[in-house]
Amino acid sequence: MTSVLSLSSVLLALKLCSGEWCYQSQFSCNDTCKEPNHWHKIFPKCGGQSQSPINIVTRKVQHDSNLTGFIFEGHEDGVTITVENHGHSAHFALPSSVRLCGGGLPTTYKAVQFHLHWGEEQQPGSEHSVDGERYPMELHIVHIKEQYSSLQEAESDTTGIAALAFFFEVTSEPNKHFDRVIEALGRVRYQGNSSTILGFRLADIILPASKLSYYRYSGSLTTPGCDQIVVWTVFHQTLPISQKQLALVTRQLLYRTEKPMTGVFRPMQNLNRRIVFTSVKSDGVRALPGLITLFLCFFCAFGQQR
Ligand SMILES: *[C@@H]1O[C@H](CO)[C@@H](O)[C@H](O)[C@H]1NC(C)=O
Ligand SMILES: [Zn+2]
């Protein structure tokens, strides 16, 4: 009996000491989990050259005319979604009827889940940043190529996953559409808890495709195993949330260790040899020659008609 007990306590200790990864905010003397700077020791891919998130330096982004608008499918349909606390984050599972194509992507992708990254109280919590500025919260909507049935299948495809990222900005008015998401998070306080939202429409929480422009780069999952298989889309447009709503999001959930789930983001990774592209010409002067050509053509056609 004693030996069985000691064996199980050894096994428990082994489990706590080794394989677990965590965010910086979780790390403490009693929890020897691997924090982000050490993830690569148990998950070698986390030490790769094309990791996410990154800081986007707008002065260095390059316009790419292949980055056309997205076509969203199923965003207007009311669907049943299940949210589950996974111990590091809470994922809202999306049905594969939610899809996207266009946006300079090689094929159609289907949605898998969405989740949020947030900070410690009153601190920024986005994963990506723009010109060094971090936002209070970031939404990730994860999609995989249509032909795959799981993330594992996408593992060896450098464009296997398409992730959409939206930053939140604090507004004085609450974002009413977001209340159901916040309430659902409140129902999954502990790891393993799950809850459902009926009649959820993605169109209620994000913008229509026609209103979006974006940055594009090749990167990785921002949690272990950090597979470098993600086509990242970081939108220029932000989503609104009130300070009160934001505080609710950050206070409701607990980590696997039952510590408050705050500071849920991976630190910035090096860009290395990568280039960040943008779907719009941000520079007004560079857009001018195109405009002049357009006018000339217009007058040309107009003149000929008469
Ligand atoms: C949530 O998880 C905790 C801890 O496992 C459990 O005690 C509780 O009953 C769960 N709550 C619900 C609503 O499932
Ligand atoms: Zn994420």
32 CB near ligand 1 (under 6 Å):
no
- 93: closest CA among 4, 227, 194? 194
One-letter identity of residue 116: L
Task: Give pTM, 2 decimals.
Answer: 0.87
Q: What is the pLDDT of residue 28?
A: 73
Number of domains in the chain: 1
Which ligand minimizes its atom distance to the CA of 118? 2
**Contact of 250 with 119, CB cutoff 8 Å:** yes
* Residue 298 covered by a domain: no
**Contact of 34 with 27, CB cutoff 8 Å:** no
Check which CATH number belongs to the domain holding 151 and give it.
3.10.200.10
Residue-wise pLDDT for 136-152, tens only, equals: 999 999 999 999 988 88
* Residue 127 covered by a domain: yes
* Residue 180 covered by a domain: yes
Residue-wise pLDDT for 152-171, tens only, equals: 899 999 999 999 999 999 99
Which ligand minimizes its atom distance to the CA of 195? 1
The whole-number average pLDDT for the span 269-296 is 71
Cα 40 to ligand 1 centroid, rounded to whole Å = 32
pLDDT higher for 292 or 24? 24
* Residue 50 covered by a domain: yes
* Residue 3 covered by a domain: no
Domain interval for residue 104: 19-281
* Residue 6 covered by a domain: no
Neighbours of 189 (CB within 10 A): 14
Residue-wise pLDDT for 58-70, tens only, equals: 999 999 999 999 9
190 CB near ligand 1 (under 6 Å):
yes
* Residue 262 covered by a domain: yes
Could you give the maximum distance between any two Cα atoms of the chain, in Å? 101
* Residue 12 covered by a domain: no
Cα 140 to ligand 2 centroid, rounded to whole Å = 5
The answer, yes or no, to whether the previous bond of 95 is cis (omega within 30 of 0) is no
**Contact of 229 with 158, CB cutoff 8 Å:** yes
